[in-house]
Amino acid sequence: MKRHSALIALPTATLLALSLAACTDNPQNKKDEAAASGDKVTVTITDDTCEVSPATLPSGKVSFSVTNNGTKPNEFEILAENKLQIESEKENIGPGTTTTVTTALEEGTYFTACKPNMVGDFVGLAEFTVTKGEDVAVDSDTQAAEDKAITNYTGYVKDQVGQLVDATKDFTDAYTSGDTEKAKALYPLARQHYERIEPTAESFGIKEAGDLDGSLDARVQDLSVDAGKKPNDPEVLADWTGWHRIEADLFAKKSEGFEFKSDADRKKVADKLNKDTKTLYDLVYGKVDGASGKFELKLSDVATGASALLEEVALSKIGGEEETFSHTDLFDFHANVEGAEVAYGNVEKLVEAEDPELAKKITTNLDAVKQVLKKYQDGKDDEGNILYQDYSKVAAVQKDAGEAPKDSDYTEAQQELSDAVNALSEPLSQVSGTILR
């Protein structure tokens, strides 16, 4: 689910801006500028505006330099002509920060918009036109590698959604039968299938992009901010569904007011979770159409998938905001890293061909993150699943949807994990700009 707070300053990919600023008449500089299509779009955000300039560019690779001059974390989105399908996005752009969003856009009409706190209606929704650009010659080997990356990653997404359906049913069966301890044990394991593909899953929907993610994975903090009420307000709880609604019932203190009043209420939310999961499955497998038609991934989805998964950890999960009741965050971290490794693995050879040093840096930093996570493993269950320690025992975390910890409150272990994730997230953010055309 989209997050509403940025806890740490993530290094941003500003290399393109620096290279353009340093351009001289050197032929190589001109070549590099052409490679970026000369298409640098400036996006200026405030809490109630989202200005994009220029609003027309030729097709190809486009970089959006996004600066948040507002007081709230914000999100920048590039939408298809139907204003439903997300072509590319950047979440959790903190106040006073600048980041770069690089994607490839074909000829057509798009829309740009922002979402303060990543919730609510679009701000500054505006048309963005892409005219026909110059054709880019691509050799057959590169084209074949790109096609394979898309095919393989699509297969991975389908596999994870298929496993999610079965794992969710096992979890909800334990939950509704009253086997609380089994449900608690299955909760983080089942969720890992979703966490491995979360950015892709949340980009698609039935009536609009992200609607399934909102039903499946909404956090009460986001809903309460949007409603201007406390997290345990009855009106907020009445509209809350999905994994975290059940998490709150299972793990929250009874005095916090998140517990369901009856078994009928539990069954209702469990049935909806299964139904929404099956709908996601039907969408991914082409049995139903989504907001913009058939489910189909592009190379940009694969290229951005890895960095988006790491940003999930770096920008909110590091402070325990995701699993605020169960503190099973380390399971989520593990799944996000696994998903990032798969997404990047599908485009690794493309990156190596364009920038061997970048590929080497990503591999090195990926290994480093995995080594840090390994410190907090807590054995395996009977099925061979890796188990993790309670995150609240090793980190300063947000508890029971309360106040999030500040950077200065991080434990030494938490800071080590944060540093390792940031070190990997930064080079992964350069993948799109390296391989898209």
Name the CATH topology of 140-435.
Answer: A middle domain of Talin 1 (1.20.1420)
Q: Look up residue 50 and give its two tokens.
A: 């989202």
Residue 289, phi then psi, degrees to nearest 5: -90, 150
Determine the CATH number of domain 15-131: 2.60.40.420
| pLDDT at 39 (0 to 100) | 66
**199: buried, middle or exposed (CB in 10 Å: 19+, 13-18, 0-12)?**
buried
Query: If DSSP codes are grouped into helix, strand and coil, which group holds residue 45?
Result: strand
Cα–Cα distance between 396 and 20 in angstroms, integer? 41
Residues 6+ apart with CB under 8 A from 414: 318, 394, 395, 396
Contacts 24+ apart (CB under 8 A), 38-47: 39/63, 40/16, 40/65, 41/65, 42/67, 43/67, 43/76, 43/112, 44/69, 45/69, 45/70, 45/74, 45/76, 45/93, 45/114, 46/70, 47/71, 47/72, 47/74, 47/116
Tokens 């809490």 sit at which residue? 47
- In this chain, the answer to whether the domains covering 15-131 and 140-435 adopt an identical fold is no
Tokens 């994975």 sit at which residue? 217
Domain spans of the chain?
15-131, 140-435
Interval 105-144: pLDDT, tens: 889 999 999 999 877 789 999 999 999 988 777 888 899 9
End-to-end CA separation in angstroms for the chain: 29
Tokens 């050799």 sit at which residue? 139
pTM for the full predicted model: 0.81
Interval 250-261: pLDDT, tens: 999 888 899 999
Residues of the chain with pLDDT under 70: 1-39
Distance of CA 353 to the CA centre of its chain: 26
| pLDDT at 297 (0 to 100) | 93
Distance of CA 313 to CAs 3, 4, 61, 78, Å? 11, 13, 27, 23
> Which of 135, 430, 235, 191 has its CA nearest to residue 333?
191
| pLDDT at 113 (0 to 100) | 95
| Helix H or strand E encompassing 78 | strand 74-79
Q: Read off the DSSP letter of residue 255.
A: G
Tell me which amino acid residue 303 is. A
Interval 219-277: pLDDT, tens: 999 899 888 899 999 999 999 999 999 999 999 988 889 999 999 999 999 999 999 99
